[in-house]
Amino acid sequence: MFKQRFFGALAYLIALILLLGLFSAGCLTGYVIVTALLSVPAVGVVVKVGITIAVVFMVTALLTGLADRLYTAYHNHKRVQKDVEEEAQ
């Protein structure tokens, strides 16, 4: 049983290291490509605008998601509060 758990944990650790390596390689490749594109003035402006649009979109999506979760939690709270009040009567 110990060997199974040990090898399972070792497999997870190896998979995590491989994923981190792939992530690092992808980030490094992206950094090199973006740096090369930014060195060309005309392309650099397009890349900067694209990155700005992407960041604005991501922040908007994040804030919208948080607002939706808050809205849902508030309505669930009100529904539970109403159910408790009805049970109390």
pLDDT tens-digit series, residues 47-80: 788 889 999 999 999 999 999 999 999 999 999 9
Residues 55 and 66 in one domain: yes
CA distance 2 to 66: 43
pLDDT tens, residue by residue, 2-22: 788 888 888 888 998 999 999
Which has more confidence, 89 or 79?
79
Give the number of other Cβ atoms within 10 Å of residue 65's Cβ.
Answer: 10
Residue with token string 């110990």:
2
Residues 67 and 54 in one domain: yes
Give the number of other Cβ atoms within 10 Å of residue 44's Cβ.
Answer: 15
Residues 7 and 27 in one domain: yes
Residues 71 and 88 in one domain: yes
Domain count, the chain: 2
Residues 31 and 65 in one domain: no
Residues 72 and 60 in one domain: yes
> Which among 49, 70, 52 is positioned nearest to 60, based on CA atoms?
52
Q: Can you give the residue range of the structural domain that contains 27?
A: 1-39
Q: Where are the alpha helices (DSSP H) in the chain?
A: 2-39, 41-88
Residues 67 and 87 in one domain: yes
Residues 30 and 59 in one domain: no
